[in-house]
């Protein structure tokens, strides 16, 4: 059975050497396999034509490429495409392709659902259904249509990356290693609510960019929006981040969804300046996209611009992120593969 075979996608060069050794294949076949996987993106072992037929047969008895094409695609009027990918254990995750001029960003998922249960996020309402393997994470890149256009990858889809850290680190290693995709870490951003110990490990084991979900500088209010604050306070996270260099190659950003009348006041802006004082970072202001049964609404454009201008004037480079794919539920905070939420979306789409 294909499903009982081990996927090759997600394996490091050392692991591919181990595969070769176990099957009695020459050690140099590991580099050949890596090239077929991460450079040529083959869909079957038979396509690895510089491996002998005998070695391909041996490999195919125990392993599979592990690639799965998306089973659905929804196209936004702004060019954004949301794909539905099957996972190795029969679940599904959403992945968003965002073209913008010469850039094309892929927003990948690392879990089915999420444990963090942030008030404003549809993925959190789904609950947690399982962590993705490195193969499932990488398959979103491996098998996405238009893969060759990609310039950036953001781990901002379904799930908390630090909650699935081993597989996220494995995926980013494949993406940045010379035998893998050989991407610069500057092209990859990993987002987190801030799980202190795991974030520290990520900062020390990866050179990828970091984005922290902030959403309020006031701990009590942040805890109401984000239960993770109760276990890992934003002040602790900022103190941890002060130990790392973000002035050169690696960039630190804070994600801040602006809720009307909740976190958009001058007092919040002052508290943000105080919290982040002296830290080399930027803030991305994000429009809130309403979700069912959540009593929050977005701030007006004037308020967004006022907040941006205040923060920038006080030394924190701040931008308002363009909202993409809202009409297909692909914008920030709207991803979900819950059947219940899918039914609500379907009804909204046809009203």
Question: Which active-site residues does the annotation give?
Answer: 94, 332
| Cα–Cα distances in angstroms (integers) from residue 333 to residues 77, 131, 194, 324, 339, in the given order | 19, 18, 17, 12, 17
SS3 266: helix
Total residue count of the chain as it appears in this document: 351
With H, G, I as helix, E, B as strand and everything else as coil, classify residue 83: strand
Residues contacting 292, CB < 8 A, separation 6+: 341, 344
Cα–Cα nearest to 285, from 253, 325, 328, 242: 253
Of 154, 144, 152, the C-alpha closest to 67 is 144
| Terminal-residue alpha carbon distance, the chain | 44
Query: Nearest-CA neighbor of 176 among 165, 168, 189, 185?
Result: 185
- In angstroms, the CA 142 to CA 306 distance is 41
Q: Which two tokens stand for residue 77?
A: 């009027």
Residue 171 backbone phi and psi in degrees, to 5: -65, -45
Sequence-distant (6+) residues with CB within 8 A of 314 are: 269, 273
Q: How far apart are the C-alpha atoms of 30 and 46, rounded to whole Å?
A: 15
Beta strands in 185-330 (DSSP E): 188-192, 209-213, 252-258, 282-287, 317-320
């Amino acid at each position: 059975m294909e499903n009982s075979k081990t996927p090759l996608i997600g394996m490091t060069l050392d692991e591919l050497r181990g595969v070769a050794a176990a099957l009695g294949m020459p050690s140099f076949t590991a580099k050949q396999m890596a090239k077929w996987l991460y450079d040529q993106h083959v869909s079957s072992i038979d396509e690895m034509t510089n491996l002998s037929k005998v070695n391909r047969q041996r490999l195919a008895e125990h392993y599979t490429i592990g690639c799965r094409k998306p089973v659905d695609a929804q196209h936004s009027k702004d060019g954004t495409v949301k794909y539905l990918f099957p996972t190795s254990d029969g679940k599904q995750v959403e992945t968003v392709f965002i073209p913008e001029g010469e850039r094309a960003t892929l927003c990948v998922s690392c879990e089915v659902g999420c444990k963090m249960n942030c008030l404003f996020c549809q993925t959190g309402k789904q609950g947690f259904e399982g962590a993705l393997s490195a193969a499932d994470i990488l398959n979103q890149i491996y098998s996405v249509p238009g893969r060759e256009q990609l310039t950036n990858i953001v781990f901002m889809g379904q799930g908390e990356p630090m909650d699935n850290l081993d597989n996220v680190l494995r995926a980013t290693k494949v993406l940045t290693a010379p035998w893998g995709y050989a991407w610069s870490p500057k092209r990859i951003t990993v987002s987190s609510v801030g799980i202190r110990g795991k974030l520290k490990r990520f900062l020390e084991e990866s050179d990828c960019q970091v984005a922290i979900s902030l959403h309020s500088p006031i701990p009590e209010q942040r805890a109401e929006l984000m239960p993770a604050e109760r276990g890992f306070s934003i002040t602790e996270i900022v103190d941890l981040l002060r130990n790392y260099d973000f002035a050169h190659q690696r960039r630190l950003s804070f994600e801040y969804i602006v809720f009307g009348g909740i976190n958009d006041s001058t007092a919040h802006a002052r508290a943000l300046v105080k919290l982040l004082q002296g830290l080399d970072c930027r803030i991305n202001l994000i429009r809130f996209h309403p979700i069912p049964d959540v009593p929050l609404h977005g701030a007006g454009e004037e308020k967004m611009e006022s907040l941006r201008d205040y923060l920038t004037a006080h030394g924190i480079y701040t931008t308002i992120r363009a909202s993409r794919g809202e009409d297909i539920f692909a914008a920030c905070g709207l991803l979900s593969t819950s059947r219940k939420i899918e039914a609500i979306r379907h009804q909204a789409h046809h009203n």
